[in-house]
Chains A and B, each alone.
Chain A
Amino acid sequence: MTDVDFRQSSYPVPGPQTTNLADILERVLDKGIVIAGDIKVDLLDIELLTIRIRLFVASVDTAKKAGIDWWENDPALSSRASRNALKDENRALRQRVEQLESQTPDEASEK
């Protein structure tokens, strides 16, 4: 059992003294009264991110040893990955265009 703080102060909730990040994220990201902010990450994103971040923060090192590195390629977690996804798509599209352009004269001569 973890240490439990039984201070009998008149107002009692200063929070566990040592708290791990997963426990805090679990609460500050998607709990509390949700009110629409003017500038704010979409709640849906927060919900998705919470699940992933909770796994992510657990132990990056252990995960890497196990060959699990999805966060590096997951656009929701890595801004670099989302740029890479765009680059990849771009490259694939260029290849396709080149392919199509190179085919056109042959198809034209067949007619």
Chain B
Amino acid sequence: MTERGSERSDANATYVFAVCWNPDPSAFHGLSGVTDAAPVRILPLEKLTAIVQTVRACDFTDEAWQVRLTDRRELERYARAHHDVVTAAASSCPTVPVPMATVYHGEQRASEALGRESDRFHAALERIAHHAEWGVKVYAPPPPVDDSIRAATPSPGLRPAPGAGLAYLDRKRGVQERRERSRHEALQAAEKVDSEVGLLAAASRRLRPHEPRLSGEQRSQILNATYLVADHRVEELAELTRSLSGRTGLHIDLSGPWVPYSFVGEV
């Protein structure tokens, strides 16, 4: 929930990117974070370290976020800035990301709030140490071509032979059935991909497939899943997705390594 606190325009607030064990402070040199006003820095907690930045409170109110989230360029700038800091932290030690837009009224408040959750942070850090998140997206093959129209076009000047309409409908139905079968087979194969990759992974999550009509992507995405994979099994994962792609004929996109964003929430 949103609490309203300091309304003064010059009040400072503390933006939190991530919590980790012993980061290398030099990992953040050269990163601007979400504002140019102050450097990204570490905030030592009891046995943990938070990665934070001092920001102006008035730039991070609920209203300011609502406006920011409606502007594609601003949204992208903030999302990438947040992601870059989280990623930099993870390059030196196990790191638990905090969702974008987590801000406290000051360093003291941030320490209190994060300190209260330290058990959850430790559990999440233990779980993800020496693991990374890997995304797997599966695309359906193009649907069978509808050849019923060409096949049904009568020769010019001739009346359609008796029964031509029925034959046309049959062909039409045949195309529809082939399409349904092809889609069904693709979905089944995608489930196979999910279950085989799932066996190799420590945990998995299904994400919403990206909307094909709007993505500009001609192919239809039938699986968008993400997996927590131990570092020593990464080559196995690449080999498995290659082999699954060959066996199923589906196009499979593998992305990673990601900081395990999707595997720290419900520990």
Residues of A at the B interface (CB closer than 8 Å) are 1-2, 4-6, 9, 11-16, 19, 21-42, 45-46, 49, 51, 53-63, 66, 68, 77-79
Contact = CB atoms under 8 A, between A and B. Distances in A.
B184 interface: no
A25 to B, nearest CB: 6
B258 A16 contact: yes
Which residue, B13, B91, B242, has most C-beta atoms of chain A within 10 A?
B91
Interface string B226-267: 000001001100100110010000001111111111101100
Contact of B91 (A2, A11, A22, A49): A11
Contacts of B264: 31-33
A27 B52 CA distance: 19
Interface residues of B, number: 81
Nearest to A14: B91
B170 interface: no
Given A25-B79, A38-B13, A2 B261 contact: no
7 interchain residue pairs of minimum CB distance:
A59-B216, A32-B97, A27-B261, A31-B261, A58-B215, A15-B87, A13-B90
A46 to B, nearest CB: 7
B83 A24 contact: yes
Nearest to B258: A15
B75 A37 contact: no
B103 interface: yes
Contact of B253 (A2, A26, A49, A68): A2
A59 B213 CA distance: 9
B49 interface: no
Given A35-B114, A59-B215, A21 B132 contact: no
A4 B240 CA distance: 13
Given A15-B83, A58-B211, A68-B214, A28 B261 contact: yes
Contacts of A62: 214-216
Given A33-B19, A39-B62, A40-B2, A59 B79 contact: no
Interface string B203-231: 00001101101111100000000000001
B12 to A, nearest CB: 11
Contacts of A53: 69, 75
B247 to A, nearest CB: 14
Contact of A35 (B66, B117, B231): B117
Given A4-B254, A32-B261, A38-B3, A12 B132 contact: yes
Nearest to A49: B69
Nearest to A45: B66
